[in-house]
Structure 1
Amino acid sequence: MPTQPYEEFVAPFRTQWNSDVKEFSKALGAQLDSETSAQYALGQGLVAARELAGLTQPQLAQRSGVQQADISRIERGLGNPTRDTLIRLADALGMQLVLLPKDSPDLHPA
């Protein structure tokens, strides 16, 4: 069964939306973008930390006790790790979790 892109599928339905539904959809989309970009940033941070430690995903999994598939999902921005999972990953990487302001230059080291 062939598939079609979501935007192509939903386009005919969107033409029937009233202005309230369009505004609601826009707000929901912005919230989703915000949440997914934060998850993606967390994943990219984990990738950078793992590579800095010279570890593969399977090696990190063994050291941390976190399933390699879970590490992969987190790194791709698809996972929603618990606090305990993040602590175990940080410990296995010889790092600690730190909260920084969003505009901190430490978030984007040179």
Structure 2
Amino acid sequence: MATRSFRDLATKNREKWSPSTHNLAQRLSAQLEAETTAQEALGRQLAEARKLAHLTQPQLAQQTGLQQADISRIEHGLGNPTRDTLLKLADALGMEIVLRPKEGETKVQI
């Protein structure tokens, strides 16, 4: 029995999609990409802050009560930390969480 790759099966099924389904898939793909990019950026910032504080992941874990594996996942953009987790990490690093406009954007609406 011949096997087919997932990509081949998905491509064949995608050909049957309506224009509105293609549009929805594109929008969801863009949203997922933006969320992934933001998680990776947060992870890089956390890793940089930890290194500037001269802390290892195990040391930061001990100070925060978090698992070292969770810190690693966050730093690699794979975790989805809660507000409380972010506050614990910021506090242990002597930092605060600040909202600022995205680069190139100055308009803020509330």
**TM range, normalised to the smaller chain?**
0.7 to 0.9
Which protein shows a greater Rg?
A: 2
- TM-score (norm: length of structure 1): 0.81
**Structure 1 residue 73: Cα displacement:** 1.3
In the other structure, the counterpart of 2:85 is 85
**Structure 1 residue 46: Cα displacement:** 0.4
SS of residue matched to 2:21 = helix
Q: Where in structure 2 are there 5+ consecutive unaligned residues?
A: 105-110
How has the CA–CA distance of structure 1 residues 9 and 89 changed in structure 2, closer, same or farther, with 3 Å as cutoff? farther
* Alignment partners' CA distance in 2, 1:28 and 1:7: 18
* Alignment partners' CA distance in 1, 2:36 and 2:8: 22
* Alignment partners' CA distance in 2, 1:53 and 1:36: 26
**Structure 1 residue 63: Cα displacement:** 1.1
**Structure 1 residue 14: Cα displacement:** 1.2
SS of residue matched to 1:29 = helix
In the other structure, the counterpart of 2:69 is 69
In the other structure, the counterpart of 1:51 is 51
* Alignment partners' CA distance in 2, 1:20 and 1:85: 39
How has the CA–CA distance of structure 1 residues 49 and 31 changed in structure 2, closer, same or farther, with 3 Å as cutoff? same
Identity of aligned residues (%): 57
**Runs of 4+ deviating beyond 3 Å:** 6-9
* Alignment partners' CA distance in 1, 2:55 and 2:15: 50
SS of residue matched to 2:16 = coil
Q: Where in structure 1 are there 5+ consecutive unaligned residues?
A: 105-110
**Structure 1 residue 9: Cα displacement:** 4.7
